[in-house]
């Protein structure tokens, strides 16, 4: 019986790993398209950020409703609905681009984003519930690491296929084929999942969930922390290209370099999955060593494809990999000193991220860009740790509703970048970076004070 249960849990985790990869790739593919859309439609930074704004606004509109639907239909059907909506949104890009119409383009983004909302709302509580509460943060970090792998390769693919001079000359048509491929793949996966038997995790009385969920202050404060975290993460990612362009770097090369930001998040989440788990210290050190070596290759190989331009010295020498390795070591030390406590790790990482963003506003561009790129390492554990702390001590039947509330606040990925875009147009990109400093300081508060269950 136990063997069958373990097999079901592994099946569930394998599926969730696949789902996290899918919506990570799609989310960042859309974020990275901001610069192609801006060049094609000749938009301001504020208007171009509507691509991200519309995408994340879907969380505000549908997350709570998705939680209710998933509560009634189950997680499996929630995942299938999400995949089908992503497929539909992907196919809608073809006519939107053929017109072409920026309004229709944003409509396609919104439909696709609604599908991602279903996946996000179903996937996070499912992973949290597939095992003990003590290791929920570790499991969420593992799936988020795979999500980060997808977000790492997404801007690189956009830089190679969509933001080359030839692709920019094609206009929006450069994205038609990639979205047709995405739509076909996710619909095929939805069909496969429909015929799969997945472990059920629902339990508890519905009346308990209805009465108690809005009285859980740590859920509500966690939702606000998600608002600021996603807003800061997306806002910084959209600021990297303008930051680099100020020094004369080509837009396609700047977009590919932004992959390092997401690569740092991937490495940090793998480290988080290891160090927030229940495994013995000897294994933690061994596996962390492998991940730190991975950081070297991420830093080296990503930048080796860059065209040297402006004042930066990004080339194929190993120096960039060594810098990334050094940041990974600092990340590991900070994680280790947190002694496996999710709230302490979150507070330390929030403070470091705030310091790095502030540093990028006062340092020269050739040093400041490394401060920006390294923030990905310290963003790494924030979403999974905030989510794990936000749903701590909840009944399993409360999970879908809590997930809906928390995911609603992912709308921060719409609001904060738009605010930063306005600051960039009105003042400068450096002034805009003050906004995420404030976001990270709130996360420190939530980690050390607001996450306590009352």
Section 334-362 average pLDDT: 88
pLDDT grade, residue 4 (50/70/90)?
Answer: very low
pLDDT grade, residue 1 (50/70/90)?
Answer: very low
- Alpha carbons within 13 angstroms on the beta-carbon side of residue 70 total 37
pLDDT digits (tens, 9 = 90+) for 246-296: 766 666 566 666 777 878 888 888 888 888 777 788 888 898 888 888 888
Domains for the chain: give ranges and CATH numbers.
Answer: 2-450 (1.20.1250.20)
pLDDT digits (tens, 9 = 90+) for 63-88: 878 878 887 888 788 888 999 999 99
Structure tokens at 20: 């996290």
3-state helix, strand, coil in the chain (%, to 5): 85, 0, 15
CB neighbour list of residue 5: distance below 8 Å, 6 or more residues apart? 199
pLDDT digits (tens, 9 = 90+) for 160-199: 666 566 666 666 666 677 788 888 988 988 888 888 776 6
Closest CA to 54 of 408, 418, 405: 418
Please state, rounded to an integer, the average pLDDT across all residues of the chain.
Answer: 78
Whether the per-residue pLDDT at 385 is higher than 50: the answer is yes
Whether the per-residue pLDDT at 229 is higher than 90: the answer is yes
pLDDT digits (tens, 9 = 90+) for 124-172: 777 777 766 666 677 777 777 777 777 767 766 766 666 566 666 666 6
pLDDT grade, residue 434 (50/70/90)?
Answer: very high
CA 161 to chain centroid, in Å, comes to 22
- Alpha carbons within 13 angstroms on the beta-carbon side of residue 130 total 28
């Amino acid at each position: 019986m136990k063997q069958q249960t373990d097999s079901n849990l592994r099946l569930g985790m394998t599926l969730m790993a696949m789902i996290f990869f899918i919506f990570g790739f799609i989310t960042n593919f859309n974020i990275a398209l901001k610069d192609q859309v801006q060049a094609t439609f000749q938009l301001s930074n504020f208007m171009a950020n509507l691509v991200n704004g519309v995408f994340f606004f879907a969380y505000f509109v549908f997350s709570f409703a998705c939680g209710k639907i998933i509560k009634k239909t189950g997680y499996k059907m929630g995942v299938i609905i999400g995949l089908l909506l992503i497929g539909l949104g992907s196919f809608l890009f073809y006519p939107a681009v053929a017109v072409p119409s920026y309004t229709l383009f944003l409509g396609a983004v919104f439909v696709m984003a609604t599908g991602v909302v279903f996946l996000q709302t179903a996937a996070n509580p499912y992973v949290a519930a597939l095992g003990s509460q003590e290791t929920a943060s570790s499991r969420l970090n593992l799936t988020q690491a795979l999500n980060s792998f997808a977000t790492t390769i997404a801007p690189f693919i956009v830089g190679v296929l969509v933001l080359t001079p030839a692709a920019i000359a094609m206009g929006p048509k450069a994205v038609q084929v990639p979205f047709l491929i995405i739509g076909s793949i996710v619909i095929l996966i939805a069909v496969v999942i429909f015929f799969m038997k997945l472990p059920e995790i629902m339990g508890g009385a519905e009346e308990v969930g209805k009465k108690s969920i809005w009285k859980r202050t740590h859920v509500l404060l966690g939702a606000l922390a998600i608002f600021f975290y996603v807003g800061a993460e997306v806002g910084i990612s959209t600021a990297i290209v303008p930051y680099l362009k100020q020094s004369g770097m080509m837009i396609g090369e700047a977009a590919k370099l932004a992959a390092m930001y997401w690569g740092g998040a991937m490495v940090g989440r793998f480290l988080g999955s290891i160090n927030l788990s229940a495994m013995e210290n000897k294994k933690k050190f061994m596996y962390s060593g492998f991940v730190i070596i991975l950081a070297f290759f991420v830093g080296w190989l990503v930048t080796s494809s860059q065209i040297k331009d402006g004042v930066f010295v990004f080339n194929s020498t190993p120096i960039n990999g060594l810098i990334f390795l050094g940041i990974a070591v600092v990340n590991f030390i900070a994680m280790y000193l947190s002694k496996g406590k999710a709230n302490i790790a979150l507070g330390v990482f929030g403070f470091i991220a705030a310091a790095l963003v502030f540093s990028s506003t006062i340092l020269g561009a050739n040093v400041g860009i490394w401060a920006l790129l390294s923030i990905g390492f310290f963003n790494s554990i924030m979403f999974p740790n905030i989510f794990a702390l936000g749903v701590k001590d909840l009944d399993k039947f409360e999970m879908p509703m809590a997930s809906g509330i928390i995911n609603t606040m992912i709308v921060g990925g719409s609001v904060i970048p738009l605010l930063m875009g306005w600051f960039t147009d009105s003042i400068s990109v450096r002034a805009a970076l003050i906004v995420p400093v404030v976001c990270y300081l709130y996360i420190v508060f939530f980690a050390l004070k607001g996450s306590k269950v009352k």
